[in-house]
Structure 1
Amino acid sequence: MLDLAAERGHERDLARMDWERDRTAPPEGFPALPTIPAARYVDPAFLSLEREGMWDKAWLYAGHTDQLPEPGSWFLTRNTGTPIVVCRTLAGEIKAFYNTCKHRGAPLVKEEAGTARGFVCGYHGWSYTLDGKLTAVRDRRDFPEFDMACHSLSAVRCERLGSLIFLNRDPDAQPLIEHIGPMAAHLEELQLETLRLVDSRSYEVDCNVKVLLDAFLEVYHLKSIHENTVDRFLDHRAMIVTLWPNGHSRMVTPNRRPDWVDPGTKGMPEIPTVSAFTATNNISYHIYPNFVMPPAPTGIPLLQFWPLGTRRTRVVSSWVAPDHDPANPHPLWETRIKNWERILYEDLQFAPQIQESVEGPGFAGMSLNYQERRIYHWHEELDRRIGIERVPEAARVAPVLAPFVAHD
């Protein structure tokens, strides 16, 4: 059951939707959002600052605990920009290490996933436990004053949000659950620790990663891009936004009809603790910088957007769901994922052409409206993480949204 605070929060959100639907102007006191400079999407110097100051120090989704089904299981991820091995130790803990032998940098593993009792470098045979400790060195007699304890694998911060595994290359990063702040309480009803991995696939697109991220932080585009799909049942004019600290946010878009139910999910197992508010509206959570999660009682897509360079992006789309049996999946999953993929392709279709435009002389910057404030919130946080003093003045965004950030 929901606690009283959550119920009152949902009542406030429903009232906010009614206000949004009926308003004739943005709220009193909301500022005209300054233009976001085009350089933030194309300038190599700025994108280098972005990589160093944000991507290399962010909490990033790595995978699901189902990918580590038993002690000794491991998988390799490169999405974070460098190869990292995530493993379940013999004691059952989940840990992560750079895929780098401490001898001469050879890879510990060469496959994408596997099971082992430890890691053995294929180049010179140095051996490590699944906890990262060096246990054997070939011809150790030839290494004078060699301290095994000083040559453990380089660990990567690894923490979980239920069954979802996140990594952070910054050893001093704030703990994940503290970092997402008020969002953590909202996610409790989803029972993320119980959800099983259903499917995961990826797509590569020729554009800067922010071109695609932008599209998933607003619904202003629904009537143009999704005319024959989600626009048929979503009321974008009643959408509400909650901006949280550290760049995180939530967007809730109501159905046009409160009694509408997705016919493609009828009869599928449901998360028993999902509230009526979540079940009858379309919520999208954003964990900064690149994780988007729009939950439904019968399953949750997990979207990540990864920079593969300055103008190429990988989109990873995964699904988690309650009571999923990988050996005997529910018969509706195949159609459901195909329908989701159709919507996803609608969002991806213009990205390469947008990239061409933002690189051209006709584009000086982005002019955002009130509905698109999550995008501006994203950029404000980027400058904070880089360090505003390090961002060239011509590429900065003015910090104007602080009064609209919720701390509970």
Structure 2
Amino acid sequence: MDAKTTRRIKDNIAFEAARTKPPAEFPRLPDIAAARYIDPQFLELEKQGLWKRSWLYAGHNSQVAEPGSWFLTRNTGTPILIVRDLQGELRAFYNTCRHRGGPLVTEEAGQSRGFVCGYHGWSYTLDGQLKSVRDKRDFVDLDFACRSLLPVRCETLGGWIFINEHPDALGLLESLGPLESELRQFDLDNLMLVHSRSYDVPCNVKVLLDVFLEVYHLKSIHQDTADRFLDHRGMTATLWPHGHSRMVTPNRRPDWIDPGTREMPEIQSVTEIPRINNVSYNIFPNIVMPPTATGIPMLVFWPQSANTMRIECHWFGPKLTAENLSPLWDTRIKNFETILLEDLRFAGKIQESVEGPGFIGIPLNYQERRIYHWHEEADRRIGPERVPAHMRVEQMLGDWIEKL
């Protein structure tokens, strides 16, 4: 962050801590309709119009470090193959043979010089070209050039691999806007994947994602953990175009340091605000990331059904930390997981209530404006005209979005 941004965030924290009511110009937000969390019609719109039209985290470069290496991701609901071709270029394809739809690979990851469908033996190069078919003599005018594997857009941010199934979506870096330049301070090209773990949670994906877009819940859910060192009343939020946002929550004591990070190697380019405050980014639609100078946890939220989801937690750190994974990284991850599990244990109970007749709508407050911002962008991706009027979110926060 540059000096101007740093000064603005400090001023905003002071303003937030001192205010006794919302800013006079902040609008009254209409309730978020309960149907957006439980109605099958909206969830199908969301699946096709949002999840299929967004940049989604697929994996890390270390998973395809060598030419010929590949891995499979199913998180989007469709099996997609991520591969490093023999020229070193990163590619993504649907894991679908162009003959009768058989899978090209059935393992989770591997190394090869090409792909052969186990159904009828059609074979492809690593860059997706159809190379040979069994019993070619039986096909009439089969044009190999028209039967290449169907590609999926694949771009990177540092060592992170993203995919997007929508051919006309903005490029990844253009979509990220000011968030991309701010993330540069974390030296993303030189981070290693330290640890990954996933958790299945019995709730709609937005029930849990909403929790991580605000700190209004700290005093209820994290009384003995995060609330002891974070001052939620000083939280300041920044809304960015395309649904992304940032939340900065100051520590109760300016000199407080997470004991799990003491003496851990640091990313030297990290600036003042993330070093002494809790900063959390939402990369729309489903990444929550609270980076620090010693490492970055990336939480990725995936819908599984109308009332189930999976959350992945990936940890990234400076390459020099390889020899320090135990006990320092073990302690760091354990401390973070303690707080994470407090949210996960409550999520299923919220889902039970959400599915009952007592849940009609959500009256969001000023502190929770990142949630409303998320829903506004969801409707923009889907197309507001496609969302039934009783489920639609009124676009209210345009003046509160930091312009490019």
**Could you tell me how far apart the structure 2 residues matched to 1:70 and 1:44 are?**
42
**Aligned equivalent of 1:321:** 317
Q: Does 1:116 align with 2:112?
A: yes
> Which of 357, 360, 380 is 1:361 aligned to?
357
**Aligned equivalent of 1:167:** 163
Q: Which amino acid aligns with 2:200?
A: E
**Aligned equivalent of 1:46:** 42
* Offset at residue 340 of structure 1 (A): 1.3
**Aligned equivalent of 1:305:** 301
Q: Does 1:95 align with 2:85?
A: no
* Offset at residue 77 of structure 1 (A): 0.4
User: In the alignment, is the contact (CA less than 8 A) between 2:49 and 2:382 conserved in 1?
Assistant: yes
**Aligned equivalent of 2:121:** 125
Q: Which amino acid aligns with 1:134?
A: L
Counterparts of residues 392-407 of structure 1 (less than 5 Å): 392-407=388-403
* Offset at residue 327 of structure 1 (A): 7.3
**Aligned equivalent of 1:345:** 341
* Offset at residue 266 of structure 1 (A): 1.2
> Which of 261, 267, 272 is 2:263 aligned to?
267
**Could you tell me how far apart the structure 2 residues matched to 1:222 and 1:325 are?**
31
CA offsets per residue over residues 44-90 of structure 1, 9 Å max, x none? 01111111111111100001111112111111000011100101111
**Aligned equivalent of 1:370:** 366
CA offsets per residue over residues 126-184 of structure 1, 9 Å max, x none? 11111111111111111110111111001000000100000000111110000011111
CA offsets per residue over residues 13-33 of structure 1, 9 Å max, x none? 101100100000111110111
* Offset at residue 329 of structure 1 (A): 2.8
**Could you tell me how far apart the structure 2 residues matched to 1:339 and 1:179 are?**
33
Q: Return the TM-score normalized by structure 2.
A: 0.98
- Percent of aligned pairs sharing the same letter: 62
Q: Does 1:78 align with 2:74?
A: yes
* Offset at residue 330 of structure 1 (A): 4.4
Q: Does 1:333 align with 2:297?
A: no
**Could you tell me how far apart the structure 2 residues matched to 1:294 and 1:15 are?**
21
Which sections of structure 1, spanning at least 5 residues, go unmatched? none
> Which of 180, 186, 189 is 1:190 aligned to?
186
Q: Does 1:247 align with 2:259?
A: no
**Could you tell me how far apart the structure 1 residues matched to 2:173 and 2:65 are?**
24
**Could you tell me how far apart the structure 1 residues matched to 2:199 and 2:273 are?**
32
Counterparts of residues 224-243 of structure 1 (less than 5 Å): 224-243=220-239
SS of the aligned residue for 1:350 comes to: helix
CA offsets per residue over residues 255-285 of structure 1, 9 Å max, x none? 1111111111111111110012211111111
* Offset at residue 293 of structure 1 (A): 1.1
User: In the alignment, is the contact (CA less than 8 A) between 1:269 and 1:323 conserved in 2?
Assistant: no
**Aligned equivalent of 1:63:** 59
Q: Which moved more, 1:163-172 or 1:353-362?
A: 353-362
**Could you tell me how far apart the structure 2 residues matched to 1:158 and 1:383 are?**
24
User: In the alignment, is the contact (CA less than 8 A) between 1:324 and 1:330 conserved in 2?
Assistant: no
Q: Which amino acid aligns with 1:396?
A: R
Alpha carbon RMSD of aligned pairs, Å?
A: 1.1
Counterparts of residues 133-172 of structure 1 (less than 5 Å): 133-172=129-168
Q: Does 1:16 align with 2:12?
A: yes
Q: Return the TM-score normalized by structure 1.
A: 0.97
User: In the alignment, is the contact (CA less than 8 A) between 1:108 and 1:120 conserved in 2?
Assistant: yes
CA offsets per residue over residues 309-343 of structure 1, 9 Å max, x none? 11110100000000256577343111211111111
**Could you tell me how far apart the structure 2 residues matched to 1:127 and 1:332 are?**
47
**Could you tell me how far apart the structure 2 residues matched to 1:11 and 1:34 are?**
32
User: In the alignment, is the contact (CA less than 8 A) between 1:198 and 1:324 conserved in 2?
Assistant: no
**Aligned equivalent of 2:375:** 379
**Aligned equivalent of 2:254:** 258
SS of the aligned residue for 2:279 comes to: strand
Q: Which amino acid aligns with 1:360?
A: G
Which sections of structure 2, spanning at least 5 residues, go unmatched? none
**Could you tell me how far apart the structure 1 residues matched to 2:270 and 2:281 are?**
15
Counterparts of residues 261-300 of structure 1 (less than 5 Å): 261-300=257-296
Q: Which moved more, 1:319-328 or 1:140-149?
A: 319-328
**Could you tell me how far apart the structure 1 residues matched to 2:108 and 2:322 are?**
20
